Amino acid sequence: MTVAKDKISIEGLTGDAAIAHALKQCDLDVLAAYPITPQTIIVEDFQKFAADGEVQTAVIPVESEHSAMSACVGASATGARVATASASAGLALMWEILYCAASMRMPIVFTVANRALSAPINIHNDHSDGMGMRDSGFVQLYCQSSQEAYDTTIMAFKIAEDHDILLPVMVGIDGFILSHNVERVEMLPTDVVTDFLGIREPVQPLHPDKPITMGPLALTDYYFEFKEQQDRAIQEVPKIYKKVEKEFEKLTGRSYGMIEEYKTDDAEIIILAMSTMGGTAKAVADVLREKGEKVGVIRLKMFRPFPVEEICKAIGDAKAVMIFEKAMSFGAVTHPLAMEIRSALYEAENRPMVLDFVVGLGGRDVPPTTFVEGYEKTKKYLEKGEAPLYETLGVRK
C-alpha cells in the first residue's frame, strides 16, 4: 500500500543532501569517507546526523579514499551495513579496493557525484570516473533527479544485500548539475524504510565463533571460479532490481526501470543518454516532435549490468540511435557507452545506425542545441548511409 501523503515529508534538497537523507534512514553501521568536491556535502550532512544522535553510525573521517574503501570492506566483512561516497580522483584512488569489494562480495553502497578526472584538474561533471570503474564488478546506477538519487540509494542496499547478488552498488549523480541543485524530494517515514530494508543478513561474516579467511591466495586452482561466481551474481541483478523496484513502487508509486523510455514507440531516431542529460534530451525530443520529427529518448539508468534486452527492445525498428556520452575511452573503437550499444545491437535484426557523440567533458555545458546539432548531423548521415564511428560536439577543434 502506498504510504499516506501526510506521512511523507517534502523538502527542497540538493542531490547530495537527498543521498545523505536516504543514508540516514538506511540504518548504517559504518560510513568511512574522505572529503572531495562535489561529494563533500553527503558526508558533512551525514556527520551532522551522526553527531546529533539521529543515526547510530560509526563515521570514520579517514586519511584517503583508499583507506575509505578499505575501511568499508573491513566493516562489511563483519556483516555491517556500510556506505561511502566519493568522486573523480578519489574514486580513482579507490580503484584497487573496488575490485576487492566486488570480489569479496561486500554489499557496500557507494554514492558518487560524478566528476572529471585529472589532468588538468577539473571539479566539474563528466562520467570518466564511473567509466573508469566499469569493469570492477560494481553494479552501476545513474540518477537523473534528487528524488531518484534518494530512492535509488535506499533501493541500492536491498539490491546489494540480496543473497542472490551480494555485490557493491554505485549510485551516481552528476557532479554540481545534480549534486548541488535543489529539487523537491519526497521522503518516506524512517520506519517504512527500516521495514523495507530490514536488517542485513550476512551470509558469511567474520565471526570469532566460526573463523573464516577472506581473500587469501587463489591461484590457478580457484581464482577463476571466484570470477565465475561473481559473473553469475551480477547477471542476477536485473531480476532482483525489478523485484526491489516493484516493492518500492508499492510504497511510493515511483519506479524508474533499468532504462527510461520516452516516446520511443514510433521513433525513427532515438537519443540515448545517461543521468541529467536525460532531462535535456526529453525536452529536445518534445520540441522536435512539435516540428513533426519522430524522436524518442532512452535514458539509461543501469550501466552495470548492461540491460541488453531492454535496450534492444526499446530501440526496436528505429533508423538511428544517437548516443550522447560524457566519457572517452582513448583509442577505442568508439567510447564506452556506444561500445556497449553497438555490441548489444549486433544480433538485432534491423541494426540501426549508431552515432556516438562525446559531449560535456569537464563540465562543458550540454545545452539543447548540442542535441539538435547531433540530430541534424544524424539526418545527414542517414541520407548518406554512412557516419563516422564517433565525434566530439561542443569543443574547440
Three cell numbers at 290?
A: 512539435
Partner residues linked to 109 by β-bridges: 83, 169
Among 57, 81, 77, 59, smallest CA distance to 68 is for 59
Work out the angle at residue 38's Cα, subtended by the Cα atoms of residues 37 and 44, and round it to the nearest 5 degrees.
80
CA distances from 320 to 4, 136, 251, 345, 355 (A): 44, 31, 38, 11, 7
Residue number, 21 or 158, with CB nearest to another protein: 21
Residue number, 48 or 232, with CB nearest to another protein: 48
Three cell numbers at 203?
A: 551470509
Residue number, 49 or 303, with CB nearest to another protein: 49
Residue number, 47 or 255, with CB nearest to another protein: 47
Residue number, 89 or 314, with CB nearest to another protein: 89
- Other CB atoms within a 10 A radius of the CB of residue 204 amount to 13
Least separation in angstroms between residue 96's CB and another protein is 14
Least separation in angstroms between residue 126's CB and another protein is 17
Least separation in angstroms between residue 278's CB and another protein is 29
Separation between Cα atoms, residue 165 and residue 139, nearest integer Å: 10
For 1, residues 6+ apart whose C-beta sits below 8 A from its C-beta are 250, 251
Least separation in angstroms between residue 111's CB and another protein is 16
Q: Which helix (H) or strand (E) holds 197?
A: helix 190-197
DSSP for 228-292, please give it.
HHHHHHHHTHHHHHHHHHHHHHHHHS----SEEEES-TT-SEEEEEETTHHHHHHHHHHHHHHTT
Residue number, 58 or 382, with CB nearest to another protein: 58
Least separation in angstroms between residue 61's CB and another protein is 5
Residue number, 145 or 179, with CB nearest to another protein: 179
**Cα 245 off chain centre by:** 15
Least separation in angstroms between residue 396's CB and another protein is 20
Least separation in angstroms between residue 37's CB and another protein is 6
Q: Which helix (H) or strand (E) holds 142?
A: strand 139-142
Point out which residues bind another protein (CB under 8 A).
34-37, 40, 43-44, 47-48, 51-52, 59, 61, 63-65, 89-90, 93, 118-121
Three cell numbers at 173?
A: 549523480
Residue number, 37 or 190, with CB nearest to another protein: 37
Least separation in angstroms between residue 64's CB and another protein is 4
